[in-house]
Amino acid sequence: MLGGTSEALALARALEGDRRYAAVYSVAGRTRDPRLPVLACRCGGFGGVEGLIEYLRAERIELLVDATHPFAVRMSTHAVEASRRAGVPLLALRRPAWTPGPADRWVQVADIAAACVALGPAPRRVFLTTGHTDLAAFCAAPQHRYLIRTVEPPTVRPPHCTCLTQRGPFDLEQERALLREHRIEILVTKNSGGAATAPKLAAARECGVTVIVVERPRLPSADQEVGDVPAALDWLADHCARSRPTDLGV
Ligand code: NAP
Distance CA 55, CA 59 (A): 6
Q: Is the C-beta atom of 193 inside 6 A of ligand 1?
A: no
* Contact (Cβ atoms closer than 8 angstroms) between residue 211 and residue 107: yes
Q: Is the C-beta atom of 3 inside 6 A of ligand 1?
A: yes
Distance CA 1, CA 4 (A): 10
Q: Is the C-beta atom of 146 inside 6 A of ligand 1?
A: no
Position 89, amino acid: P
Segments of the chain scoring below 70 in pLDDT: 244-250
Position 133, amino acid: T
The pLDDT of residue 71 is: 97
Q: Is the C-beta atom of 71 inside 6 A of ligand 1?
A: yes
For residue 72, the CA-to-ligand 1 centroid distance in Å is: 5
* Contact (Cβ atoms closer than 8 angstroms) between residue 229 and residue 6: no
Q: Is the C-beta atom of 4 inside 6 A of ligand 1?
A: yes
Number of other CB atoms surrounding residue 34 within 10 Å: 16
The pLDDT of residue 244 is: 59
Q: What is the dihedral of CA 77, 78, 84, 90, to 10 degrees?
A: -80
Q: What is the dihedral of CA 165, 170, 171, 174, to 10 degrees?
A: 10
Position 156, amino acid: V
For residue 192, the CA-to-ligand 1 centroid distance in Å is: 14
The pLDDT of residue 240 is: 87
The pLDDT of residue 250 is: 44
Q: What angle do CA 42, 48, 53 make, to 5 degrees?
A: 75
Residues in the chain: 250
